Structure 1
Amino acid sequence: MSPVKLAFQKFTYSTRARSSMFSKFDPLKDPLILVASIGNPSPQYDNTRHSVGHFMLERYCYKRGYTSPLEIGPYTFKIKSNPDCFMFYHNKGFMNESGKNLCEPWNEFRRFATQKGRNPVLVVLSDELDKDMGKLQIRIQNSSARGHNGLKSIQNVIGKGFTSIKIGIGRNYPGGGKDSDSVSKYVLGKFTFKEFYTLKTQVLLALTNVFNVMQTGAYIYNIQKG
């Protein structure tokens, strides 16, 4: 068993109304999954904890062969040379403006997927302070953002019809409290050597396992009740 512990939210399928930004799913069509990372701009914030989603997206694409660019409108996505059901996008701008910056790339992707006869699916990679480094949590559609400003921004602009994969960064600073100065300094700090190793090994393996099951339809169509 992988040393990475995955914390999965209980879920059920529902036909609850979705935001107009999200297409209704056709059970006869295969998914086309857009994995979008959110964080702060490169290169200033590269390898910082708050941008761990960007780091893991780039690492996964490099290791798994998603290195071919695909331009759709003014936006560039990453795919394999022999495309499968995944496309990857490194969201631009600051974390707090994730929704505004992801809205148009998502719209372009939706049109592209629909033209290809596929169900457009959005999966967001983000950081998570309240999970230890090395742990992942999957949050299905209609889940609470739980105070995460990037996810709240996406929900406010696009809606709640997306799945998120939250990558634990822990609260490994003196006191481990929630005062804003300590949190800001920590999340904007660079990874330690130990954290780099954990991300490149354990978290990469866990993320690979999650994507493997998502391509079978797991998690991506499920909606949180309430």
Structure 2
Amino acid sequence: MLSFLQFARKASSLTRIAAPNDKPVLILVVSIGNPEAQYHGTRHSVGHLILKNLCESQGFSQIKQINGFKFRCNTDKPDVLLYQTPGFMNLSGKNLAKPWKALMAQPQWNPVLVVLHDELDLDLGKVRVRKQNSSARGHNGLKSIQQHIGKGYNAIQIGIGRDSNREKDPDAVSRYVLSKFSAQEAEQLHQQVVPQVAAIIEEMRQHKHIFETL
């Protein structure tokens, strides 16, 4: 059984704010969303869609196992791992905590967490980076991550557009984010968003964004 001090140290190691040190950086890019079998192609799971496209277009075709968890990797970019969280959006933090802990336990790396997620207040095709310590702004997936891991992560927000009815109908947001992208919208994501996210990850490999905080 953990003592209170051991528990506090364990919790603080998971919730720490990323900062530069003498170790090489390892960037874990994770997508959050809902189970693929039922929610594939929906707006709320756009992070999963972009992650899949990154795997295909950026050569993340191999699997790296760490403490039983499988991460996608590219031998030409050993400082980046990709991971799709399982389960439902509102349990993102719980489902991410163990694989994140597995990376945090690697003594040779300085792990940095980057979360891909949907953003209602960005137009489709737009992308924005948010700093560590940012607010979840009502996003259930981010709220879950902050509950289990804290605010020590960057986020890459992926615009999914707005629903013009959401101010009139309180259920409109739920219906909208769980609706599927049209073929034209999916192509727009592939053509516009994937290159932007890939470019941001390359910037992060040069230590841009990743250590910034609010």
TM over 0.5: yes
Per the TM alignment, residue 127 of structure 1 is displaced from its structure 2 partner at its CA by 0.3
Equivalent residue runs for 1:1-226 within 5 Å: 19-21=12-14, 22=16, 25-112=19-106, 114=107, 117-171=108-162, 173-177=163-167, 179-224=169-214
Residues paired across the two proteins, number: 203
Q: RMSD of the TM alignment (CA)?
A: 1.7
Cα distance change, pair 178–50 in 1 and its aligned pair in 2 (3 A): farther
SS in structure 1 opposite 2:27? Answer: strand
Q: Which amino acid letter does the alignment assign opposite residue 173 of structure 2?
A: V
Unaligned runs of 5+ in 2: 1-10
Other structure's SS at 1:122 match:
strand
Q: Which ranges of 4 or more aligned residues in structure 1 deviate by more than 4 Å? A: none
Q: Which ranges in structure 1 are unaligned for 5 or more consecutive residues?
A: 1-17
TM-score (norm 2): 0.89
- Counting aligned pairs with the same residue, the percent is 46
Alignment partners' CA distance in 2, 1:118 and 1:69: 18
* CA deviations over 1:124-172 (Å, ceiling 9, x no partner): 000001110011111110010111010011001110000010100011x
Distance across 2 between alignment mates of 1:91 and 1:70: 15
The CA distance in 2 between the partners of 1:23 and 1:134, in whole Å, is: 29
Q: What residue identity is the alignment partner of 2:36?
A: S
1:58 partner amino acid: K
Task: State how far apart, in whole Å, the 2-side matches of 1:178 and 1:41 are.
Answer: 29
Greater fraction of residues in helix:
2
